[in-house]
């Protein structure tokens, strides 16, 4: 993931108050008349990040800036799936490996299933963003990962609600013979999540992971061959 100057600007501020102070300018003071009124307005999220969003984004950027600093760092997951995801976190964030997670999860009385683009989900960490993830809590076992309507494919068996989304890493395609196909946007290779097939795509492997937390979990690991 390449960070922009706008992203890295958040890292310039040690505290949320420093960040808010940087947004106060002559124009806002002229309009509202009082510095404290301006700051109070910004704290609500008006033309600024909320404190929760600022803390989450700054924490994520500190991790993203250094590939050796991971959400799973200093955490020893006990669930087999979390152990496997911890192994794959760094190569996914570096773009060397691209993992698609298929899972079936019982949430209360409804089974939720779908496919998750792991690298894209690692970036979805802002606390005020819908369907975001607290990855440190997930690796520590304090929260559970499951498909959401923002992921590649999502299906709620109780409500019948389904969603499909292309991501930065994958485009979803449908083949009349082989069904769903995920095309990697970097090397243009196709991943075939066919449980009855023997070929899952060039440089792609399939691993079924036992987990007490889920009905079924399968990892499709694609070694990315970038064309540059």
Domain layout of the chain by residue ranges: 5-65, 80-223
pLDDT at 228: 42
Report percent pLDDT > 70 for the chain.
Answer: 89
Sequential DSSP letters for 155-168: EETTT--EEE---S
Tell me how far apart the alpha carbons of residues 121 and 135 are, in angstroms, rounded to a whole number.
9
Helix%, strand%, coil% for the chain, nearest 5: 30, 25, 45
Tell me how far apart the alpha carbons of residues 21 and 122 are, in angstroms, rounded to a whole number.
30
Q: Which two tokens mark 133? A: 């993830």
pLDDT at 159: 92
pLDDT at 108: 82
Degrees (nearest 5) of the Cα angle 196, 168, 87? 65
Q: What is the pLDDT of residues 169-206, one digit of tens each?
A: 999 999 888 889 999 999 999 999 988 888 999 999 99
Tell me how far apart the alpha carbons of residues 34 and 140 are, in angstroms, rounded to a whole number.
44
Tell me how far apart the alpha carbons of residues 178 and 200 are, in angstroms, rounded to a whole number.
11
pLDDT at 5: 59
Q: Which of 27-36, 56-65, 70-79 has the highest mean pLDDT?
A: 70-79
Query: Please, which pLDDT band fits residue 167 given cuts at 50, 70 and 90?
Result: very high
Q: What is the pLDDT of residues 116-146, one digit of tens each?
A: 999 999 988 754 467 888 898 999 999 999 9
Tell me how far apart the alpha carbons of residues 69 and 17 are, in angstroms, rounded to a whole number.
26
**pTM of the predicted model as reported, rounded to 2 decimal places:** 0.71
pLDDT at 113: 96
Tell me how far apart the alpha carbons of residues 214 and 110 are, in angstroms, rounded to a whole number.
13
Q: What DSSP element (H or E) covers 106?
A: strand 97-107
């Amino acid at each position: 993931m390449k960070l922009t100057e706008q992203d890295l600007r958040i890292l310039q501020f040690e505290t949320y108050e420093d960040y808010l102070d940087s947004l106060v300018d002559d124009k806002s003071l002229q309009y509202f008349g009082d510095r404290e009124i301006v700051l109070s307005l910004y704290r609500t999220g008006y033309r600024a990040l909320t404190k929760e969003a600022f803390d989450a984004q700054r924490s994520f950027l500190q991790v993203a800036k250094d590939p050796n600093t991971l959400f799973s760092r200093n955490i020893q997951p006990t669930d087999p799936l979390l152990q496997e995801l911890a192994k794959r976190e760094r190569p996914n964030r570096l773009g060397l490996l691209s993992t698609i997670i298929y899972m079936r999860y019982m949430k209360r009385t409804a089974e939720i299933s779908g496919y998750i683009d792991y690298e894209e989900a690692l970036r979805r960490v802002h606390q005020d963003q819908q369907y975001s993830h607290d990855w440190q809590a997930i690796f520590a076992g304090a929260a559970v990962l499951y498909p959401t309507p923002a992921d590649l494919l999502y299906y709620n068996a109780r409500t019948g609600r389904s969603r499909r989304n292309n991501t930065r890493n994958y485009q979803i395609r449908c083949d009349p013979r082989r069904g769903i196909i995920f095309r990697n946007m970097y090397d243009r290779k196709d991943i075939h999540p066919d449980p009855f097939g023997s070929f899952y795509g060039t440089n792609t492997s399939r691993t079924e992971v036992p987990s007490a937390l889920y009905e079924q979990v399968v990892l499709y690991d694609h070694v990315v061959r970038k064309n540059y």
